[in-house]
A and B are shown apart, each in its own frame.
Chain A
Amino acid sequence: MVTSHYIKIFFLIFLTDLRRLYNRFYWVFYRYSHNHELNFITKRRLNVCLVGIVVSIISIITCMIYFPMKAFLTDGISPDILSWIRYILLIHILLGFIGCINRYERAIQPEDYEIIIGSPVPAFLFVVNRFVLQNLLSVLSLFLFLFLPLCISAAFASKVSWCSLIVFPIVGMLYILFYSSICGVVGYIGYYIMHRWKWTQISIFSNSVFFTIFGFLASFPLMSWVLDRTSLSEARVVLLIRGIAESNWVPTNLFIEAIRTFIAGKPFFLMVFVLCIVVSFITFLVFCRLNRFISVKPMLQIRMKRENRYRYLHSLYLRLLNSLPNEYRFILDKDIKSLTRISEMFRYRIIKILYLFSLTSGLFIGLGMNGVQNFVSDTSLLITFVILSSILSSLIGTGLLGVTSIDSESTNINLFLQRGFDPKKLIISKVLLQVIVLLFSSTFFLLVISLALSLPMYAISIGLSINMIVSIVYGAIQVQVTAVYPRFDWEHYSEIGRSPRSVTLENVLTGVYFIFILQGIGALITLHYFNDISAFMMFSWSIIWCLLVGVLLLGYMYIFLERKGTRHWEGYR
């Protein structure tokens, strides 16, 4: 009785959240209608258009893969290809673990805390639901545009009955349930570790040390193992992962086996299918069970610091602030206060960044020590610094966006706009703050890693120069994209500065920057390798190249922002 009630409530929450997403999608069209009503006819037309687009894409992909699939099925699935499919699915699950703590945190600190706690429904149903929905959406396109066409073309090619097509979505749904639940279990464990102790300075420090050692232990022996081989193509790590993927005991292989035996028409299929159901539901039940012991928390619990223990720093900051022009000073002052009088949300983000940084440092120190012992040269140092600076800037910059993005102003944006304040000044002060904090913190982290590896002074100075340029470019881009695509009506704090369009633009721009500087540095390394330029010239030109590409990119962003303007912000008022 209780279980059936839970299932009913589970689907109610699920469908309501889907409805919210659906309405949000249509809101893009309706927000400009004169009365904001959800007009039934227009909605139906849009639905037809949307379904038409999805069906046509699926049909085209199905047609494209029909003949290869037919040839594939006629020849039989070769063990080599099968092992690659298994390998890909395992990697897909492992990739799902990235960011699962974030997704779990989003579910455990919901925006509708009051509704959840005020209702008679156990909070864990909401948490599980939200987590599954997030994962479902993240794999939906994969499911619709890859898995489904593959299955339809396989069904056509193997001439199985039309009714049997139902098997494919069922197996797909079971896989999604398994995927969500296993990611949920990992997210729960990660979240539990992060909240195991109260955040005291000692616990933060000990956790950071733990993550550094963990990262080091993960990378040092692994790299030694890889370097021990004569040829990197035979790297044991790859073989190890592929070996795991081959194992019949890995649950992901059950889903592949279910599809394979079904297409081949083997009676063995039913047994595998039942196993898939059992595995998915057991994992899901474990996830549900774990969540029964955790309580949801309200979003944005602001706690103010009661004392200012850093008086000297504070007076220094005030002196610096006073030297700035007045119109920037008050925005910077407000944002710096937000940063220092840390809210629960921001503190959490910073601690998470610190842990991620500790892990990254451990990994890099482990790799670096191997490199120093085995093969590292001046040229590989350059590449390492570029990668490390990019990772640091991405990690820290994203954490800062809670305060430094344009979205963070929310409805307060009206305070600026209605008073005729130039929005450009707001953007500049936000960029300034982001860049300064990013620059100082990434420099500090880079110094720690460099000193831990006992790198020579010239290497450290090159690293710092590259890091400075990368931090400025990344920091400026991270804030500017939120000005291009702001979202002031965010519901959950994790959405601040992370609107889908701004994230996409940021990824494109930082990706372009990263690729360009790597290509340039690669070309310089090649020239140095053939003794066309000296090491000094290689380093100097690499730094100049990073600077040049950065200036061009920021110039482009400046022009883009100028053209785009801030008129579109008004739509959010």
Chain B
Amino acid sequence: MNLLTVNQVGKSYEEYRVLDGMSLSIKEGEIYGLLGPNGAGKSTLLKIISGLLSFDQGEVKIEETSLLAQPLEYKKLIGYVPDHPFLYNYLTAREYLAFISGLWGINEKGLIEGVLSTVRLAERGDTLITTYSHGMKQKLSIAAALLTKPRILILDEPLTGFDPPSAKFMKDFLREYVKAGNSVLVTTHILEVAQHFCDRVGIIGEGKLVQELDQLGAFDSFEDLVISVMEESA
């Protein structure tokens, strides 16, 4: 069953057409990787899906909840983690998460501690965010996204800045997350990560979905295949 559906989405910046009739769907329990050359429109698409950017045409929905018709209900179902998240540098992680849960009106006891433990930040929870490394900031951003218990997590370059144990932990965590019937949408430039971590990948070129690939483990020369698709679409 499709959890996220993007249908014929178009977006322009002045005369420049970034997305032109972009369509894709993500199933329940799936990790979907979005690939494409720089400037192909991956981040724009992620921002549109997460409701941060308006679009000119098309439709985006999670199950039956439409972004345009029910934006508030839609936002509750989605958790977005940008590649360089803005976090309040002069709050501690606990203060930051308390603020985000306040915005969402979440009063669940132990939730903040729970998400902090999930991303292994509980011990540094009382430290100012300004002292965090990039990887820790990413983890905190993921923790904030998890507060609303979203059905779909959207991550822009999620493994950049992680040390190997953290990257392994994050991959395991996301695997567990999708097992519960949720989905994950990631963008990455590291094709090895895409092949071994994602269930399915879509390649963007010229503002459209050029090709989708599944059964990724079966490809011997995944890297060559993706690059040739990218070059053909350019």
Identity of the chain A residue whose Cβ is nearest the Cβ of B145 in the assembled complex: A118
Q: Which of A107-142 contact B (CB under 8 A)?
A: 111-115, 117-121
Q: Which of B80, B89, B91, B105 interacts with A118 by CB under 8 Å?
A: B80
Q: Do A120 and B76 touch across chains, with their CB atoms under 8 A apart?
A: yes
Complex contacts, A119 vs chain B, CB 8 Å: 75, 100, 103-104
Known: A16-B91, A118-B75. A9 touches B102 (CB 8 A): yes
Complex contacts, B92 vs chain A, CB 8 Å: 23, 38
Known: A16-B99, A120-B72. A112 touches B86 (CB 8 A): yes
Check if B211 is an interface residue, CB within 8 A of chain A: no
Complex contacts, A573 vs chain B, CB 8 Å: none
Q: Which of A9, A27, A120 interacts with B128 by CB under 8 Å?
A: A27
Check if B82 is an interface residue, CB within 8 A of chain A: yes
Q: Tally chain A residues at the interface, Cβ within 8 Å.
A: 26
Check if B126 is an interface residue, CB within 8 A of chain A: yes
- Most B C-beta atoms less than 10 A away, residue of A23, A30, A36, A121: A23
The CA of A5 and the CA of B72, in the complex, are separated in Å by 15
Return the CB mask of A375-388 against B: 1 if under 8 Å, else 0: 00000000000000
Q: Do A38 and B128 touch across chains, with their CB atoms under 8 A apart?
A: yes
The CA of A112 and the CA of B100, in the complex, are separated in Å by 12
Return the CB mask of B74-92 against A: 1 if under 8 Å, else 0: 0110001010011011111
Q: Do A24 and B126 touch across chains, with their CB atoms under 8 A apart?
A: no
Known: A20-B91, A117-B51, A489-B130. A12 touches B86 (CB 8 A): no
Q: Do B82 and A114 touch across chains, with their CB atoms under 8 A apart?
A: yes
Return the CB mask of A13-57 against B: 1 if under 8 Å, else 0: 000100111011001001000001110000000000000000000
Q: Tally chain B residues at the interface, Cβ within 8 Å.
A: 27
Check if A491 is an interface residue, CB within 8 A of chain B: yes
- The interface residues of chain A, by DSSP majority, are classed as helix
Return the CB mask of B42-79 against A: 1 if under 8 Å, else 0: 00000000111000000000000000000010011000
Known: A16-B99, A119-B103, A120-B103. A23 touches B75 (CB 8 A): no
Identity of the chain B residue whose Cβ is nearest the Cβ of A126 in the assembled complex: B103
Q: Do B103 and A20 touch across chains, with their CB atoms under 8 A apart?
A: no
Name the distance in Å between B53's Cβ and chain A's nearest Cβ. 9
Name the distance in Å between A522's Cβ and chain B's nearest Cβ. 47
Known: A16-B95, A23-B91, A120-B75. A114 touches B128 (CB 8 A): no
Q: Which of A36, A112, A114 interacts with B127 by CB under 8 Å?
A: A36
Q: Do A5 and B88 touch across chains, with their CB atoms under 8 A apart?
A: no
The CA of A119 and the CA of B101, in the complex, are separated in Å by 10
Q: Which of B85, B86, B90 interacts with A20 by CB under 8 Å?
A: B90
Complex contacts, B91 vs chain A, CB 8 Å: 16, 19-20, 23
Check if B131 is an interface residue, CB within 8 A of chain A: yes
Name the distance in Å between B138's Cβ and chain A's nearest Cβ. 14
Identity of the chain A residue whose Cβ is nearest the Cβ of B72 in the assembled complex: A120
Q: Do A19 and B95 touch across chains, with their CB atoms under 8 A apart?
A: yes
Identity of the chain B residue whose Cβ is nearest the Cβ of A40 in the assembled complex: B126
Supply 19 A–B pairs (Cβ within 8 Å), ascending by A: A12-B99, A16-B88, A19-B91, A20-B88, A20-B90, A21-B90, A23-B95, A23-B128, A36-B127, A36-B131, A37-B127, A112-B86, A118-B75, A118-B80, A119-B103, A119-B104, A120-B72, A121-B103, A489-B89
Q: A20-B91, A23-B92, A23-B128 are in contact. List 4 more A-B contacts (CB 8 A).
A: A37-B127, A38-B128, A115-B103, A117-B52
Sort A-B residue pairs by CB-CB distance and give the 6 closest, nearest first: A23-B90, A36-B131, A12-B102, A24-B90, A119-B103, A20-B90
